[in-house]
Structure 1
Amino acid sequence: MSNFAAKQFRGLQYTFGHLQPLVLQPLLTPTGGDPVIVPVDVQFGCHCFTEEFKDALHQDEHRYSHLGELRAFDVIRYECSLQLPAIVNAMLGGMIYWCKESYTYVTRVTLPDTDGVAQDYSLFFSLTKNSDSVHPALNMFVKSAYLRGLAAPPASDGWRFRSLIGLVSGVYEPPKPKERPKKKKKGKEK
């Protein structure tokens, strides 16, 4: 069973069982505290296998509607999405960056028919506290994922994903702001 309806496209049927929700369970150790498991409920959006529908570019066979949103089915995004569960599990040791309104993570994927050439693949996601849980727990929504290099600005702060989970869940204390050196006042000339 999938959250997404199957798609018939150019004589083939595409299903989305690989995009079932999953749960990460990283073990975090706060400074001076006991280790704690912070469950992260992960869900995927249809932008992981679709792109913006454009009348000039797409035909009726591309149409894919989910939750009232019209998108265009994209075979390459679909092929990449087959790797998303493994990528999300592997993210725990990876670097995460802030990009506009989402966190982003970049990895490399190899697609069929590319002779083993790996390409940059970016995930864009939100990470929020699970307000239904009395213990530290998070919700992660993978909004989109497609072939692209790092989209974060060059000076963006980065975090280890495990550290970001600890910060957002409240298990880790936020870092204290660094003190800026005080400027010396120029003495008056006589």
Structure 2
Amino acid sequence: MTKWPPFLYREQVYDLSHLDGFTCEYLKPAQDGKPAVTYRVFVHFGHHCFTEKKKPGDDPALEYRHVTNRDYRSFDTLRYELSRQLPALVRDLMGRKCFHTGHGNSFTIEVTSREGEQVEYEVYFKPYKEQGSRQLRLIVESAFPRDADRLENRPRTKPVKFEFLLYNTQMNRPVKVQR
């Protein structure tokens, strides 16, 4: 499981342990004579949940280097603050509307308050099955507040249930995008 070390910026420590990997069990209740199903999923969070693309003029001390893929980005305090909600949001995915992107991943939108202000928070994730195994994993690839530059990200597909994404992943079936 992924363990995130803290990030130090100007003598302030940003604890990232809330994004350490964990195991989550999702229950699909019994329905229409079919038994209940429990999906046991290992959850991981990517560094795009607390970093953003580097821009000219960014403080070099904000540079965050991801060791596994050499993706150099800037630590983002707003993404970091919002990321504290991610573990609870992920545990609650069975009750959420999810939208397929057409690029192999999906997203959900959380409307949250940041200091009294409503923010649309986009969370991109991808369920997958470990090769040669029945073990399911979920990577939360990115999470960020929707702003004027990202308005084109508004859902253009019909929502799907998270349980449908898990079932299709478990059965090695593709998810068809429904417009």
Tell me the CA shift for residue 153 of structure 1. Answer: 4.4
Q: Which residue of 2 aligns with 1:21?
A: 21
Q: Secondary structure at the match of 2:4?
A: coil
- Runs of at least 5 residues in structure 1 that lack an aligned partner in the other structure: 176-190
- Runs of at least 5 residues in structure 2 that lack an aligned partner in the other structure: none
Contact 2:100 2:160 in 1 (8 A): no
TM-score scaled to structure 2, two decimals? Answer: 0.81
TM-score scaled to structure 1, two decimals? Answer: 0.77
Tell me the CA shift for residue 140 of structure 1. Answer: 0.6
Question: After superposition, what is the alpha-carbon deviation per residue over 1:43-88, rounded to whole angstroms, capped at 9, x for unaligned?
Answer: 000000000112x131211111112221100000000001110111
Q: Which amino acid aligns with 2:16?
A: F
Q: Check if 1:106 corresponds to 2:93.
A: no
Tell me the CA shift for residue 31 of structure 1. Answer: 6.2
Q: Whose radius of gyration is greater, 1 or 2? A: 1
Aligned-residue Cα RMSD (Å) equals: 2.7
Contact 2:65 2:72 in 1 (8 A): yes
Q: Check if 1:158 corresponds to 2:159.
A: yes
Q: Secondary structure at the match of 1:39?
A: strand
Q: Which residue of 2 aligns with 1:185?
A: none
Q: Identity rate of aligned residues, in percent?
A: 28
Match of 2:138 among 125, 137, 140: 140
Match of 1:76 among 75, 78, 86: 78
Q: Which amino acid aligns with 1:144?
A: S
Tell me the CA shift for residue 39 of structure 1. Answer: 0.8
Length, aligned pairs only: 167
Contact 1:122 1:150 in 2 (8 A): no
Question: After superposition, what is the alpha-carbon deviation per residue over 1:15-44, rounded to whole angstroms, capped at 9, x for unaligned?
Answer: 111001122212234765432211111100
Q: Secondary structure at the match of 2:65?
A: strand
Taking structure 1 as reference, are residues 118 and 80 closer, same or farther at Cα in structure 2, changes over 3 Å only?
same
